[in-house]
Structure 1
Amino acid sequence: MAKMLYRLGFWSAKNRIKVILGTIAVMLISSIVAMSMGPKLNEETTIPGLESIQTMGRMYQEFPSMIGQGKETQLVMKAKDNETLSSEANKQLISAELKEVAMDPEVSSVVSPYDNQSLNADGTIGYATITYRPGVEVTDVSKEYVLEAAEGLRNAGLQAEVTGNGYVSMEIGGATEGIGVLIALVVLTFAFGSFLTGIIPILTAVIGLGTGVMLIIMGSNFLETPSFALSLASMIGLAVGIDYALFIISRYRQQLAQGFERREAIAIANGTAGSAVVFAGVTVIIGLAGMSVVGIPFLTAMGLAAALCILVAVLIAIITVPAVLSAMGGLIKAKRAKRSERSVTHLKKKNRGDKWGRLVTARPWLTVLLGTALLATLSVPFMHMETGTMDDGLKSTTMTERRAYDLMSEAYGIGYHNPLMILAKTDGSPEAEANLAKTVEQLKTYPNIGTVTPAVTGASGNVSLINVIPATGHADIETVDLVKTIRSHTAEIAQQNHVELSVTGSTAINIDISQKLNEALPEFCLIIVGLAFVLLVMVFRSILVPIKAVLGFVLSLGATLGFITYVVQDGHFQNLFGFSGESLVLNFLPIMVVGILFGLAMDYEVFLVSRMREDFKKNGDAKKSVLAGIRHSGGVVTAAGLIMISVFAGFMMTTDPSIKVMSFALLFGVLFDAFIVRLLIVPGVMTLLGKSAWYLPKWLDRLLPNLDVEGEEVMKEVEKKHHQATQSATEFYEAIQ
């Protein structure tokens, strides 16, 4: 692979103009096609086959009127102090504003709070329901009609807020991510010592991300794709796109410093660092695509979307970046050698100047124990992690949908946002109605019940619907316990009352999805860890190094999930990180973190340890090879980690709680893995292992394919080429003598 990438780098450098124009053309064509097709993203996070989803299907058969005909927006209103919405003045005011909303051609109906019976007990709070035509995507123009009505009500002294799926939508990008990119640019400028060189990874990553996003939009027309998949793909694609370009450019500048001609230096960088980029990209892709083994459609779509962005980032790094480097010519300077490196006592002073390397290798037991103890401590909260979903109650109070959420909670109770729908099937006997009434009364006796509505009979006559409003919110364990309590008594009720109960509704469905995801997590972890071990054995030709890498990944994973639990669920440091309240951990977050962090952890492992192996094969000194790995790759891994953190920090500034918690998890996952595991624990362990780190049974060495991530074959080809050139020059000189 390394030789192929070497030749690809040389070809790209030689045909730089064609490659750059071709890259831009691909992005433009994909953009035109994607925009013409339009995005078909959805908010669905369901799992086919769950009992609660099957119950939902039966409910719709009995009560077809409950099937949504179009997107809805709720205009939530609260009267002034000492007034009610039922006063004549408020009625006229609200009716006038709703008439203006009804003028929107996309609106199919507007129902006032007086017609939908939404006024609360004291008549101070209610909401109007605006329904849009089926199949219509609510535009900003349509939203403006509602926002103007809300503003009119506010000017009259009422509180008016807007919510609903016709108004609130998942963010798929915004200006906040630009802040992270600016921070990344500062890191790159500092790392390269040049603003011009630092901006290249940003530009190539943005081109790759743009192409990847357009391909995802096209793919959403053929595969059910949740909207948050686009946000996740953008985060990962942008971060790795910058990092991969960073790795290749850094190696290119090192080769220039060694005296290689520019095209040759580009080709060598592509064959060596490019090989590591390809391997790192493949591991991330495997981790993301591996989400499909769980058998959950929305996770599969999310993983494949992000994997597509990674694939584009890899292609941009190994094809376009070499062309850009060639086009920049002498504007990109060689890496400046330190004064110690130019000294006669080169090796001695270089080691003396390598402060971090000397620090972690001088006391390896201490560094390993400190790093391990820190991550193990951070992992402790993971033991009581509870997963679920997030809603508008976790958004900032500066947002109208959060204020609407709070108004509805004030009016109808916190459980209003997470109702349980219970389908009750009777046996059709003369006592069926009495048995059903008895069942309803029994439900009222369960703990944490808010209200229970009378049963409504469906079309068949023997199936009824009972609505249960919990006394607690969706993020409370008591709500989950209530669902479990109802289900645990279904057999007893069926035997005593001859009524079969099935629980559904968004809350029950989300509880079932969370349980399914939690059950799939151990299996997914085993697959990922096993795969990591096999891949690393092939890369490093070692048994102990892969074991160390896998254990390091497990440590950083545990610390990440533990810290998420500590902040998001337990409520610590919420103001510091911009969270607006305690919540269950997002149900698909653990699997997502495993898949992504696996790939990123292997990135840093490969770039750091492959350089150690390269040096060890040259001099056979284990400790010096650790120092060499830190010296050559430690700075690049540090810069790469800071770039990842910067990009994820930009996404953390979003207002959507789901995106915020995803970026928060990835930010600290990278922080723990890059800076504690790879730059603290790994050098310490490698020092302790010494030469035994590189032991591999000879029979296994013969069986394994040689991936050549260090680019040994490339350097052999370069030496061969130079030898041939020198021989030809010598023969020419001898011929003219």
Structure 2
Amino acid sequence: MATLLYHLGRMAFRWRWFVTLLWVAILGLAGFASTKAAPAADEGFTMPGIESQKAFDLLDQRFPGSAADGASARIVFVAPHGQKITASQNKAAVEQLFDGAGRGSQAASSVDPFEAKAVSKDASTAYATVTFKVTAANLTDASKNHLERSLDEIRDKGLTVEVGGDALATQPAAGGASEAIGIAIAAVVLLITFGSLAAAGLPLLTAILGIGISMTTIKVLADTFNLSNTTGTLATMLGLACGIDYALFVVSRYREERGKGHEPREAAGLAAGTAGSAVVFAGLTVVIALAGLSVVGIPVLTKMGLAAAGAVVIAVLISVTLVPAFLGFWPNAVLSRGIRTGRKRSLRKKEHNAGSRWASLVMRHPLPVLLLGVVGLGAIAAPALNLQLGMPGDEAKSTSTTERRAYDDLAKGFGPGFNGPLTIVVDAKSTENPKAAVATIAQDIADTDGVVSVSAPRFNAVGNTAVFSATPATSPTNAKTQDLVKTIRDERAGIESKADATFEVTGKTALNIDVAEKVQASLIPYLVVVVGLAIVLLLVVFRSLLVPLKAAAGFLLSVLAALGAVVAVFQQGHGASLLGIESTGPIMSMMPIFLVGIVFGLAMDYEVFLVSRIREAYVHGDQPQQAVVSGFKHSARVVIAAALIMMAVFSGFIGADGSMIKMIGFGLAIAVLFDAFIVRMAIVPAVLALLGNKAWYLPRWLNRLLPNIDVEGEKLSHKVPAPADPDPIDESALQPVPMR
């Protein structure tokens, strides 16, 4: 591997114009194709295999044209203070709206709230729902404008009108400013790390180019694979962060080789052969973690994982080809000013730096450092024991949104459970008296403790299927509501036997429960597949039994601590106001497995980058403890810079509008903090110090079976002649190098 990438780096350096133009052409072709590509049709959120999804599918089948997953607008009317919504002038205004609300070409139905008796007991509030034949993403501007104009007319008559549902909901924006903030912070970190504008700018330039290729490609494939707007968010996060970090490691190694006296092309080849090898295998671990999300069986999660994996692959390819090519244009501009002017003659002559001094400190006190790190992360992980999963809805939105105000008005007027009704779908196809069967089921559910009321059943045209709502006494996120769903399902066998018909429970709360259970059931298989494959990969990279196991254990500490921090902030509310979170609630159901997958890939990044330098020193003759110090000397500063960049990119998304993106950004940023600064910088050297030579033990039979990929570049040390002591670099060398 090292030899192959060494030659690839030299070739890219020599043929820099060709390599650069090739990548620019790829970007141009992808960009052109994206302008011609059709947008993806939003199929909505689906999760095969759960009861809630089966109920939705039955609705679509038995109620053709009703669009069970179509867009909806729940319109809430509140009378002025001291008035009633049933007053003649207020009632006339509301009825006027619904006379025209259902006339749009995409509208499916609209019901007068007074005919449906959708008025609160104190007559201050009323509501009605307008449903559409298509999903929110496929609603035309004409349909939206028609409804908005009607609502404005009602507001002009003095009524307070708020709209829930997804028909008029503003889609959260996670891009733009988020990426800009991350890039700006990354630029500062790179400038401090390298002390050179060129060295700081090169990783940013290549990462942005990679993101451009990734996002335009996703847009091209959006219609074919039904990729939603959310799909590209994760690809942007990881593509940008990994792209900067991977280029950072190659540039850093190039500077190190130049400091040793190697001429530019040789240094580019060595950087690609050593740091590039680490980049390839670090990227592979990330790809494994992302592609492994398909094990969960959630289509949207699978698509997000595969799209992000593609972005990481592009970042790896750019790092081992385009980065050496750019180094060929300005081979000396990326060096620090001290080396260019001769004030720093050689990196070899600097015996100690902050990284080596820190490693030496850990070597002297490994056990206290290990215990402090493990106990500290364990304490932070403690809130995860109280994890409550769900799908944050309108209650988690800002009070500045009409969706949140509609939610609050409904809860005030009709009770907290009104915002999360259970939808009961009855299949009476096999019974002789469908109406009697449905009435029996509705009555038994109405008699269940925790149910406030049930609506009148609505039958399909054939009369063999009915649907009705059951309103809980508690809010959708309340644990008692979840218990109610489980109670109804547990008592289903007896109810179905009495009614001679079957039914399914769906709705927001039921869907949340089903999704959480499916995710939890998939977590162990996912961990087995992903962690197992990664351990095998690390066995090949490090040729050690204990180092991969230590890496996996450190990852578990990181991810549990990150999950504990997410629960503490987003569920329990500790420090939530500092992040602009107005209301707390359950953690997004997919967050744990999402966090596991992404954090695992990133954790293995730092493991490969850091430990490969330690193993390189060990392979070249250093004693175990000295190898750790040497590895930290050459890599600690760069690993810390890479972690800070990752944190900057992810933290930028905390300012996004969507609660899901905000939660993901915070979770990934805090996970990188824990993994890079506590696990990899403290726990890893402490464990290696305690293990000594045993850390690198590998049975002979396994050593013969594993391929020797030479990540450390040991073969290169025999092929490449040792450089002479470097001379001061002439400032004239900062000009572009002519083609050879």
TM-score of the superposed pair, with normalisation by structure 1: 0.89
Report SS of the residue matched to 1:330.
Answer: coil
In structure 2, which of residues 502, 507, 510 is the aligned counterpart of residue 508 of structure 1? 510
Call closer, same or farther: CA 1:139–1:253 in 2, change over 3 Å.
farther
Match of residue 721 from structure 2: 719
Alignment of 1:696-735 (within 5 A): 696-719=698-721
CA contact (8 A) 1:253 1:335 kept: no
1:67 has 2:67 as partner: yes
3-state secondary structure, aligned to 2:505 = strand
Q: CA deviation at 1:372?
A: 0.5
* 1:611 positional shift: 0.5
Aligned to 1:290: 292
1:475 aligns with 2:500: no
User: Alpha carbons of 1:678 and 1:341: their partners in 2 closer, same or farther (altered >3 Å)?
Assistant: farther
- Counterpart for residue 33 of structure 1: 33
**What SS class does the counterpart of residue 83 from structure 2 fall into?**
coil
- Is 1:54–2:54 an aligned residue pair? yes
- Residue 216 of structure 1 is matched in structure 2 by 218
Cα displacement (A) at 1:443: 1.8
Report what 1:167 is aligned to. 168
**Residue 656 of structure 1 aligns to which amino acid in structure 2?**
G
Which one is further off, 137-146 or 612-621? Answer: 137-146
The letter for the 1-side match of 2:47 is: I
Secondary structure of the residue that 1:451 maps to in structure 2? strand
Partner deviation per Cα, 1:526-561 (whole Å, 9 max, x = no partner): 222222221111111111211211111111122122
Write out per-residue CA displacement over residues 563-599 of structure 1, whole angstroms, 9 at most, x where no aligned residue. 2223223332221233232322211122212221111
Matched to 1:262, the amino acid is P
SS at match of 2:224: coil
1:142–1:27: structure 2 CA closer, same or farther, 3 Å change rule? farther
Check whether the contact 1:257–1:336 (CA below 8 A) recurs between aligned residues.
no
Amino acid at match of 2:194: F
- Structure 1: runs of 5+ lacking an equivalent: 723-737
Query: Which residue, out of 203, 206, 214, partners 1:204?
Result: 206
Letter aligned with residue 16 of structure 2: R
User: Does 1:350 find its partner at 2:348?
Assistant: no
Q: Which runs of structure 2 are paired with 1:86-235 in the superposition (5 Å)?
A: 86-87=86-87, 89-90=89-90, 118-127=118-127, 134=134, 137-138=138-139, 157-168=158-169, 169=171, 171=173, 173-235=175-237
Q: Distance in 1 between matches of 2:429 and 2:80?
A: 51
Match of 1:305 among 270, 289, 307: 307
Q: Does 1:250 align with 2:252?
A: yes
Q: Which residue identity is paired with 2:362? A: V
**2: CA distance between counterparts of 1:290 and 1:353?**
34
Identify which range, 199-208 or 352-361, moves more after superposition. Answer: 352-361
Assess, with a 3 A threshold, how the Cα gap between structure 1 residues 406 and 715 changes in structure 2: closer, same or farther. Answer: farther
How far apart, CA to CA, are the structure 2 residues paired with 1:335 and 1:156? Answer: 70
Gaps of 5+ in 2: 725-740
For residue 619 of structure 1, give the secondary structure of its aligned residue in structure 2.
Answer: coil
Which letter does structure 2 place at the counterpart of 1:487? Answer: R
**8 A contact 2:39–2:219 mirrored in 1:** yes
Q: State the secondary structure of the residue aligned to 2:656.
A: coil
**Range that drifts further, 83-92 or 545-554:** 83-92
Shift of 1:85: 4.1
For the residues of structure 2 that align with 1:60 and 1:343, how far apart are their CA atoms?
72
**Further displaced range: 201-210 or 96-105:** 96-105
Shift of 1:49: 3.0
Q: Take 2:438 and 2:348, find their aligned partners in 1: how far apart are those partners?
A: 92
For the pair 1:580 / 2:565, whether they are aligned, the reply is no
Partner of 2:496: 494
Query: In structure 1, what is the Cα distance between the partners aligned to 2:512 and 2:527?
Result: 22
Q: Contact 1:170–1:227 at 8 Å: present in 2 too?
A: no
Whole-angstrom distance in 2 between the partners of 1:716 and 1:59: 70
Q: Which amino acid aligns with 1:18?
A: F
Deviates more, 1:537-546 or 1:458-467: 458-467
C-alpha offsets along residues 438-495 of structure 1, whole Å, 9 cap, x if unaligned? 4433322323223212333444445432311222233222222111100111112234
Structure 2 CA distance for aligned equivalents of residues 140 and 359 of structure 1: 64
Pick from 455, 458, 462 the counterpart of residue 457 of structure 2: 455
Q: CA deviation at 1:191?
A: 1.1
Task: Single out whichever of 103-112 and 159-168 deviates more from structure 2.
Answer: 103-112
The residue aligned with 1:322 is: 324
Residue equivalent to 1:266 = 268
State the partner residue of 2:730: none
Q: 1:210-233, CA deviations, whole angstroms, 9 ceiling, x for partnerless residues?
A: 211122222222224344222112
Task: Provide the aligned length of Structure 1 versus Structure 2.
Answer: 721
- For residues 100 and 187 of structure 2, what CA distance do their matches in structure 1 show? 48
Cα deviations by residue, 1:486-531 (Å, 9 ceiling, x for unpaired): 0111112234444433222343233222211110101111222222
In structure 2, what is the equivalent of residue 80 of structure 1?
Answer: 80
In the alignment, the residues of structure 1 paired with residue 587 and residue 347 of structure 2 have an alpha-carbon distance, to the nearest angstrom, of: 57
Deviation at 1:116, TM superposition (A): 6.8
TM-score normalised by the chain length of structure 2: 0.89
Report the Cα distance in structure 2 between the residues aligned to 1:344 and 1:294, rounded to whole angstroms.
48
- The amino acid across from 1:589 in the alignment is M
Aligned to 2:23: 23
Task: Tell me the distance in 2 between the aligned counterparts of 1:458 and 1:208.
Answer: 52
Identity %: 40
1:118-146 Cα shifts (integer Å, max 9, x gaps)? 54444433456566675773466865666
Relative to structure 1, the CA distance from residue 227 to residue 417 in structure 2 (aligned partners, 3 Å threshold; closer, same or farther) is: farther
Aligned mates of 1:16, 1:352 — CA distance in 2: 35
Partner of 1:629: 631
CA change 1:481–1:95 in 2 (3 A) is closer
1 CA distance for matches of 2:104 and 2:461? 35
Distance 1:345 1:277 in 2: 24
Show the counterpart of 1:552. Answer: 554
- Letter paired with 1:313: A
Deviation at 1:181, TM superposition (A): 1.8
Mean Cα displacement is larger for which, 333-342 or 258-267? 333-342
CA distance in 1, matches of 2:152, 2:272: 58
| 1:629-657 residue CA offsets vs partner (Å, 9 max, x unmatched) | 11111111111111111111111111111
- 1:531 aligned to 2:533? yes
